[in-house]
Amino acid sequence: MGSRDATRPTAPCGVQAPDRPPLLVIVLLAALAAFVAAFLCPLSSSVAAAAPSGPVATAIGAPSLALSPGVAYVRVNQVGYTAALSKRAYLMMPIVFSGATFVVVDAHGSIVFSGVAGADLGGWNGRFPAVYPLDFSPVSEPGSYRVEVLWPLTAASPSFGIGDGASVYGGALANALRFYQVQRDGPDYVRSELRRAPAHLNDSRAMTCVTPKVDADGVFRGDLKALGVRRNVSGGWWDAGDYLKFVQTTSYTDALLLAGVRDYPAEIGPGSGADFTAEARFGASWLLRMWDDATKTLYYQVGIGAGNAATAGDHDIWRLPQRDDAYGGADRVYRYIRHRPAFRAGPPGSKISPNLAGRDAAALAEAYQVFKGSDPAFADRCLLAAQHIFDLADTSPHRLLTAIPWDFYPETEWRDDLELGATELYLALAPGELPAGLPHTDPAVYLALAAHWAHAYITGPSDAADTLNLYDDSGFAHYDLCRALTLAGDPGGLEVTRADLLGDLQKQLDKAVAQARTDPFQAGYAWDQWDTATHDAGLAVTAGEYDELTGTADYADWASRWLANVLGANAWGSSFVVGDGTTFPHRLQHQVANLRGSLNGYPPVLLGACVEGPNSDQDMGTMPHMRIGPPANPFSRFNGHGARWRDAVQDYPNTEPAIDLTAPTVLAFARMAAGVY
């Protein structure tokens, strides 16, 4: 993106105009910058593709590859900045140079702020040996803006908004809701350009099966062992770009969505611009279907990812979901595509892996909290199931049950899940007026259990080893347990106190800050790891929740920066949430998006989907019927710190979205929209 002309209209009254050299000097400096671009850094020339013609109907902005023609690049939160929080962009430079000057211009081209880049935050790769912060926090007037660097090289950011939280993040919340609607399985789908038919109607009579012995890839020998019991497991969300459904990921996802509906009703509750109420109920309804309360039996997965030489699995074919019920006709190889098995966690009444028991109970207890006023019968079913499931938690597990194979989701921590489950059960019981037939009615029982498992987590082997994501929900659990303790009047005699919980949250955040100080873009989670985008969104949530609980703003700047990392303030200049920003993933590893959507960012796209993001791993596998985009990777010049990003359908470690990856962005956006970050 080229820079604007250096001559500016007079700055508006009350805003300091920048000190600028005479026009002749600016022309000479621009010529010098062009010389540097042409002779010192020829590899930095533009690789932007020609923009397709036609209108854009996304909620946030037009898609494009925001790779400017200069040798320097400005990275920003492309969704925008809330007026009350700090605002920082990042200048990627091909040279080390202190004192770069920049301006912020509004939609009319008027300068509203000028500044000098801060101290070098460190080199990113060989092409960009220096990255400088550009702070413009004083800009708070609602509007559309760009950051433009004038010296020693020229560069300009994409446009972004500034305003209150609702105006900046309302579109992102609406996009996120659309993502979950596209992910719906079963008869109750939401019709759209991407979804034109229901899917997997045969799930309403699924045969239940014993979990097979599989290798690390999920391949099993022989055939599955049927249990002779059919069950309605229709509905629910597809896990990711495939069509499998897991209690593990759905319970985590729905727990976060239900918390959002409960805690931020004006932003994502009934009557809001992005009402998640029906979607959160949709998730809870499927969780109920995966639990047989009469026999105390949990089913934890629908569909099989891999098969064997005689059996096709979900991951062996690339197709639209509505084809599955009749896929392959009578061909036996595709029998588990047509009639998907539902896998049992264990015999009736047996112990349940504590990660599943804890988060499943948490989601269902939250469903009771949310729906007890509007649909008491449904809410009562949720609460009864939650208590029964929690009672069966195996508190001495050998290896956690997650998915087939375990390597799909190699989870090892579970104490946080039991803390969360007990906390949400306490919050469900505390107001009183409970349904009949509950095995436990004293909320103090669950408060003591929540404190016990919080203490076990804090003193356990995984304390603060991770932050809010699918594999560690302690940040969310600690937050709600702090609120539960306050509700209970901070009783004594429990195994943890509010101070203990806040100290552990601070420990997680301080580790993230320490990591951020080693990264030129100040990301709280290393870019060369898996699930980078969802981790930074989770950190933004945790930072805001800690400050809310303590009445401070200790991590406010970090919350803003970590969410910005997800939305474009990174080396690649890409948002990792589809439709949120000007540059976002176009070629997802997602069958519906790939086969029904565009590959250039214009509608229809899978709005609101948060993808894996950059990491150190790339996979170039292809499948028949997969639509492949251009082979060139315009982002490769920005790879660094061991991390790579490629916007390609065949690169699932980069571009596959998932329901669990997206869930923390919903909470982060809702908190921003509510003005509590």
What would the pLDDT profile of 153-206 be if each residue is shown by its tens digit? 999 999 999 999 999 999 999 999 999 999 999 999 999 999 999 999 999 999
State how far the Cα of 209 lies from the Cα of 302, in Å rounded to an integer: 10
Residues 288 and 364 in one domain: yes
State how far the Cα of 115 lies from the Cα of 138, in Å rounded to an integer: 11
Residues 160 and 227 in one domain: no
| 53: pLDDT strictly greater than 80 | no
Q: What is the mean pLDDT of residues 442-458?
A: 98
Cα-based angle 306, 599, 188 (whole degrees, multiple of 5): 60
Domain region containing 108: 23-166
Residues 131 and 207 in one domain: no
Q: Is residue 629 part of a domain?
A: no
Instruction: Determine what percent of the chain is predicted with pLDDT higher than 90.
Output: 88
Domain boundary pick from 399, 434, 469:
434
Q: Is residue 307 part of a domain?
A: yes
Q: Answer for the pair 168, 79: CB distance below 8 angstroms, yes or no.
A: yes
- Name the pTM for this structure: 0.91
User: Of 302-306, 420-424, 575-579, 618-622, where does mean pLDDT reach its minimum?
Assistant: 618-622
* pLDDT, position 617: 87
Render pLDDT for 552-569 as a digit per residue (tens, 0 to 9).
999 999 999 999 999 999
Q: What is the mean pLDDT of residues 603-617?
A: 97
Q: How confident is the model at residue 67 (pLDDT cuts 50, 70, 90)?
A: very low
Q: Answer for the pair 148, 117: CB distance below 8 angstroms, yes or no.
A: no
SS3 label, residue 101: strand
Q: Is residue 633 part of a domain?
A: no
From the list 673, 662, 512, 668, the residue with the least C-alpha distance to 183 is 662
Residues 275 and 330 in one domain: yes
Q: How confident is the model at residue 59 (pLDDT cuts 50, 70, 90)?
A: very low
* pLDDT, position 621: 83
What is the phi/psi pair of residue 316, to 5°? -90, -10
Residues 241 and 320 in one domain: yes
Looking at the structure of the chain, the number of domains it has is 2
State how far the Cα of 430 lies from the Cα of 288, in Å rounded to an integer: 23
Taking CA atoms, 83 is separated from 149, 161, 166, 557, 673, in Å, by 22, 9, 11, 13, 11
Residues 260 and 407 in one domain: yes
State how far the Cα of 80 lies from the Cα of 164, in Å rounded to an integer: 10
| 36: pLDDT strictly greater than 80 | no
Q: What share of the chain is helix, strand, coil (3-state, %, to 5)?
A: 40, 15, 50
Q: How confident is the model at residue 603 (pLDDT cuts 50, 70, 90)?
A: very high
Q: Is residue 643 part of a domain?
A: no
Q: Is residue 519 part of a domain?
A: no
Residues 214 and 86 in one domain: no
| 75: pLDDT strictly greater than 50 | yes
State how far the Cα of 662 lies from the Cα of 671, in Å rounded to an integer: 15
Residues 233 and 334 in one domain: yes
Measured in Å, how far apart are the chain's first and last C-alpha atoms? 31
Residues 71 and 123 in one domain: yes
Q: Is residue 255 part of a domain?
A: yes
Residues 105 and 225 in one domain: no
Domain boundary pick from 166, 192, 220:
166
* pLDDT, position 55: 25
Domain of 327, CATH number, reads: 1.50.10.10
Q: Is residue 146 part of a domain?
A: yes
Q: Answer for the pair 329, 312: CB distance below 8 angstroms, yes or no.
A: no
Name the DSSP class of 552: -
Q: Answer for the pair 423, 366: CB distance below 8 angstroms, yes or no.
A: no
Q: How confident is the model at residue 455 (pLDDT cuts 50, 70, 90)?
A: very high
Render pLDDT for 298-355 as a digit per residue (tens, 0 to 9).
999 999 999 999 999 999 999 999 999 999 999 999 999 999 999 999 999 999 999 9
* pLDDT, position 259: 98
Q: How confident is the model at residue 619 (pLDDT cuts 50, 70, 90)?
A: confident
Q: Is residue 502 part of a domain?
A: no
Domain of 132, CATH number, reads: 2.60.40.10
Domain boundary pick from 414, 434, 454:
434
Query: Could you tell me which residues come within 8 angstroms of residue 638 by beta carbon, excluding any fewer than 6 positions away?
Result: 92, 124, 125, 128, 571, 572, 573, 645
Residues 245 and 140 in one domain: no
Q: How confident is the model at residue 635 (pLDDT cuts 50, 70, 90)?
A: very high
State how far the Cα of 248 lies from the Cα of 604, in Å rounded to an integer: 30
What is the phi/psi pair of residue 144, to 5°? -105, 140
Neighbours of 331 (CB within 10 A): 11
Mean pLDDT, the chain, as a whole number? Answer: 91
- How do strand 342-344 and strand 206-209 relate by DSSP bridges? parallel
| 147: pLDDT strictly greater than 80 | yes
From the list 519, 543, 540, the residue with the least C-alpha distance to 529 is 519
Residues 135 and 225 in one domain: no
* Tokens standing for residue 288: 């109920």
